[in-house]
């Protein structure tokens, strides 16, 4: 389901359940979008807080790919701007990968503090890996050899938050759309009702 279809679907649900003047205000697309965004990130975080779900996750399914140019700050630290805000999952799993555009180096995702420890281990000097971590709204790239300097651009794949999706982007929820709809309506103060037997009454 595309983003715009999702928003209009939720809007229809609300209007159908509570067709009043107030509903039109509450069911404003901007309000709905904000509520879906909350539900989307809550669902992802809850589902992937479980270690087994995270291990078996096909997170690339929800991800978007970007191309970014590597920059250097005044301290000589290499970085790329984060192209979109990510859903914050455990171990920065929201950032799926960073890969060189036209290179063979392995990029390893770490945390900032973790990198300080890694630098003292054999694995840091004995492998030719590039390490990266999220620092605010940028991705810091730790180049370990001179060969890494030739890289100019990188591919970044990440799980963007809901507002970063475009209207025609496909949105997938981890457990399907039904639980997502329920959660969205619940957070907005609606209880989904079953209207099948309305005629009987």
Partner 1 sequence: MSGKNNFVTLDHVVAKVLLEIGDEENRRYYVRAAQWSLDFFRRINMSYSPFYLERKVTVNQDLYYFDTPNDSVKILSVGIYRNGEFWPFTKKPDLSILPVDVEDGIYESDTMDGVSIPDKGHTFGFNGANIGYWKEDTENCRVFVRNYRYSSTVNGYEDYTSAITDKVIVRYKTTGLDCSGDICIPVEADELIAQYVYYKFMRKNIPVQVTADEKDRQERIVNSLQEDYETLKYEPHNFWEVRDMLFGSLNSTARR
Comparing CB distances to partner 1, the nearer of 57 and 77 is 57
| Cα 19–chain centre separation | 34
Please select the residue that binds partner 1; options are 109, 138, 143, 157, rule is CB under 8 A. 109
Site size with partner 1, rule: CB under 8 A? 24
CB of 139 to partner 1, least distance (A): 16
Spatial distance between the Cα atoms of 31 and 166, rounded to a whole number of angstroms = 17
Residue 88 as a binder of partner 1 (CB under 8 A): the answer is no
Please select the residue that binds partner 1; options are 56, 113, 195, 197, rule is CB under 8 A. 56
**Alpha helix locations (H) across the chain?**
3-17, 21-26, 29-47, 51-55, 112-118, 122-126, 177-187
Please select the residue that binds partner 1; options are 60, 147, 167, 169, rule is CB under 8 A. 60
Both tokens of 14, joined, read 């609300």
Q: For residue 95, give the H/E element and its range.
A: strand 95-100
Residues that bind partner 1 (CB under 8 A): 51-52, 54-60, 91, 93, 106, 108-110, 114, 118, 121-123, 125-128
């Amino acid at each position: 389901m595309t983003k715009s279809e999702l928003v209009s679907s939720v809007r229809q649900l609300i209007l159908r359940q509570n067709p009043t003047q107030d509903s039109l205000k509450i069911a404003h697309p901007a309000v709905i979008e904000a509520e879906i965004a909350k539900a989307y990130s809550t669902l992802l975080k809850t589902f992937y807080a479980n270690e087994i779900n995270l291990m078996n996750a096909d997170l690339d399914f929800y991800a978007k790919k970007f191309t970014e140019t590597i920059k250097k700050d005044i301290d000589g630290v290499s970085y790329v701007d984060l192209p979109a805000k990510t859903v914050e999952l455990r171990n920065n799993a929201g950032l799926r990968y960073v890969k060189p555009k036209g290179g063979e180096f392995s990029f390893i995702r770490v945390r900032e503090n973790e990198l300080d420890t890694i630098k003292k281990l054999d694995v840091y000097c004995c492998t030719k890996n590039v390490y990266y971590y999220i620092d605010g709204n940028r991705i810091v790239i730790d180049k370990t050899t001179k060969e890494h300097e030739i890289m100019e651009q990188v591919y970044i794949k990440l799980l963007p938050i809901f507002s970063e999706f475009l209207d025609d982007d496909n949105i997938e929820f981890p457990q399907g759309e039904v639980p997502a709809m329920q959660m969205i309506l619940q957070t907005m103060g609606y209880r989904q009702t079953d209207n099948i037997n309305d005629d009987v009454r």
